[in-house]
Amino acid sequence: MFKIIKNSMVWGVVASLTIMLAGCAAPAAPTASPAPADAQKNAVAAPVELTISAAASITDALKEIQKSYESSHPNIKVNFNFGASGALQQQIEQGAPADLFLSAAAKNMKDLVDKQLIDSAKQKKLLTNELVAVIPTGGKTPIASVADLSKADVKHVAIGIPESVPAGNYAKEALTNAKLWDSLQSKLVQGKDVRQVLQYVETGNADAGFVYKTDAMTSQQVKVAFAVDPKSYTAVEYPIGVVKATKHGKEAEEFYTYLQSKPALDVFIKYGFTAIP
């Protein structure tokens, strides 16, 4: 009788413990709730970044256009790679990332079209410019013509590297036609792009320099000494084209088209460029 009672008590204790342990079992992990539909709708994709390789002489106009374009196209971020047109051409040839190319010389664009790096159907001449000679605002040396650069008190004349800077090549053409290229060699100081040439004159490191009319308009530290005879150098033309290797073809073509629109052309004209009809 005792054994039966004892076993009954043990079974009761075991049963009680089983019930207690079952009651203490860890609760099930909560199920993750789906993200609200509104949050999914409001998710904004990262903007498409366009890289524009552009001649240094067009820096100020493009930066103003960039602001208005990005404000009306929040999905686009425009980045610029400014430099000498010849150097930019070489970068594109070597595979550097670029979506559009804006050159200060038709030759650089033609070379890229010939090498099938820019589609001939997606490039056109956009603007023109003029070559001028500038001198420091406070300069005391009277310079009124290309012949005056031969004066003894003119020590340094700045030009862009003719092989890579279109403005330098135009200046070389003008000096060659004036039969002064050889005689001025000892005075010439070469800059990596037209903005560096402008800086040489601004700082007084050059008594005169050849830049575009539009560059002269950006500085209070220089003044135009004379306009170079347009018949003495090749016409300054700015073509623009879409790079074939772009990874953002649609967005690149849209910006290419916008640069030909009246709002963009008005900005270029404001900075002294002439639009090609």
Q: Which residues are annotated as a binding site for molybdate?
A: 57, 85, 167, 194, 212
Class of residue 41 by CB neighbours under 10 A (exposed 0-12, middle 13-18, buried 19+): exposed
Closest to 125 in 3D by CA, of 147, 142, 103, 141: 103
Q: Please, what's the largest Cα pairwise distance for the chain?
A: 137
Beta-carbon neighbour count of residue 164 at 10 Å? 20
Closest to 230 in 3D by CA, of 183, 160, 173: 173
Reading the block at residue 77, the tokens are 């971020």
Are 65 and 19 a contacting pair, CB within 8 Å?
no
Reading the block at residue 48, the tokens are 């498409």
Reading the block at residue 52, the tokens are 């524009």
Provide the β-strand partners of residue 139: none
Binding residues: 57, 85, 167, 194, 212
Please give the Cα distance from 100 to 198 (Å, whole number). 26
Are 243 and 252 a contacting pair, CB within 8 Å?
yes
Beta-carbon neighbour count of residue 270 at 10 Å? 12
Backbone phi, psi, residue 247, to 5°: -95, 0
CA of residue 221 relative to chain centroid, distance: 25
